[in-house]
Amino acid sequence: MSREIVAGVAGAGVFGSLHASKYLTSPDVRLAAVLDRDAGRAEALAEKCGARAFTDLKEFLNAVDVVTVATCASSHFNVARAALECGRHVLVEKPIALTLAHADRLIRIARDRHLVLQVGHQERFVFDAFGIFGRRLRPRSVSCVRRNPVTGRGEDVSVVFDLMIHDIDLVRRMGFSDPVSLAAFGHADEADAKFTFADGATVTFEASRLASVRERRMTLDYGVGVVEIDFVNRKISNTTGVETAATFDHGGPALADPLGFGVARFLDAVRGVAPPAISGDDGRDALEWALMIEKEILSLVPAKRSVTA
């Protein structure tokens, strides 16, 4: 695609606004349309961006070439499916869907129609910049903590799909697969999970939407040393003897603006100059573990609210 790319954003909330701002500053891209079921919200963002507001999905899709799906998580599948079936390239925020069958369907449609399907796990770019994924040795243990105060956002799904799935994606990308056991407990707004692997490695996840302060931390223990990453305060410490490839202050666009970097990579894939940075299969991998955790929690304590596909 060599001509101007005409973009649309589905979802006029916080994440939709962020995605819209990235399209506005992308060369050879015109943000033409904003979709939201709330007409007032769609119009407010569209006016700010010089775009048209839509409440009808079909009319919205007819106005664009590419679509960012930043609607509520429970609608990701339906909006992304409609866009792909209409021949539109899709950047869908996490999670890719809420069932593996739905994720597989999106992946299949994109493949069969030669369309780009990228998933918005943009914190992966931070770890790429640090060189974490390129390390020869896998950590012996990983501890992930992700806590938010109450925001009122994302409550159509549990905290596993809303927050924990970010860390699940990062851990899957490190090469962890096929756990031999899983212990999980919690409820819709707080959840803890522990995976154990055949070689004795462990991964723990903690996520909450009821915290007093915002917290994003990951600790990777390699046996010979530890890497600790504080996403909120933008700090990294490392006692492994193997230097990281960057710091938060000196790491290029992937660290300065992970979302903008991800949108740029999506547009590169649309133009055919690079593959999608985070494929539908990658999104499916993260979803697989999220569903395992959710199933384990629901087997012990009924969730406060149901999670529907």
CATH number at residue 222: 3.30.360.10
Give the pLDDT of residue 308: 35
Rounded Cα gap, residues 282 and 171, in angstroms? 12
Number of domains into which the chain is organized: 2
Residues 20 and 30 both lie in one domain: yes
How confident is the prediction along the chain (309 residues), in pLDDT tens digits per residue? Answer: 558 999 999 999 999 999 999 999 999 999 999 999 999 999 999 999 999 999 999 999 999 999 999 999 999 999 999 999 999 999 999 999 999 999 999 999 999 999 999 999 999 999 999 999 988 889 999 999 999 999 888 789 999 999 999 999 999 999 999 999 999 999 999 999 999 999 999 999 999 999 999 999 999 999 999 999 999 999 999 999 998 888 888 878 999 999 999 999 999 999 999 999 999 999 999 999 999 999 999 887 544 433 333
pTM above 0.75, yes or no: yes
CA dist., res. 303 & res. 222, Å (int): 35
- Assess whether 54 and 152 both reside in one domain: no
How much is the pLDDT for 300?
74
- In this prediction, residue 2 carries a pLDDT of 56
Query: CA–CA distance from 202 to each of 3, 24, 223, 227 (Å)?
Result: 48, 43, 12, 15
Do residues 145 and 162 share a domain? yes
Are both 240 and 128 inside the same structural domain?
Answer: yes
H or E stretch covering 240: none
Residues 64 and 189 grouped into a single domain: no
Contact 66, 91 (CB under 8 A): yes
Q: Is residue 42 within 8 Å of residue 54, measured between CB atoms?
A: yes
* CB of 27 closer than 8 Å to CB of 5: no
Q: Compute the distance between CA of residue 135 and CA of residue 195 in angstroms, rounded to an integer.
A: 21
Q: How many CA atoms lie within 13 A of 218 on its CB side?
A: 22
Rounded CA gap, 253 and 260, in Å?
8
Q: What is the CB neighbour count within 10 angstroms for residue 103?
A: 26
Residues 90 and 131 in one domain: no
Q: What is the pLDDT of residue 134?
A: 86
Claim to verify: residue 269 and residue 234 sit in the same structural domain: no
Amino acid identity of residue 274, one-letter, is: A
Q: Residue 254: which residues within 8 A CB-CB, separation 6 or more? A: 125, 126, 128, 129, 261
Domain range for 58 is: 5-122+259-279
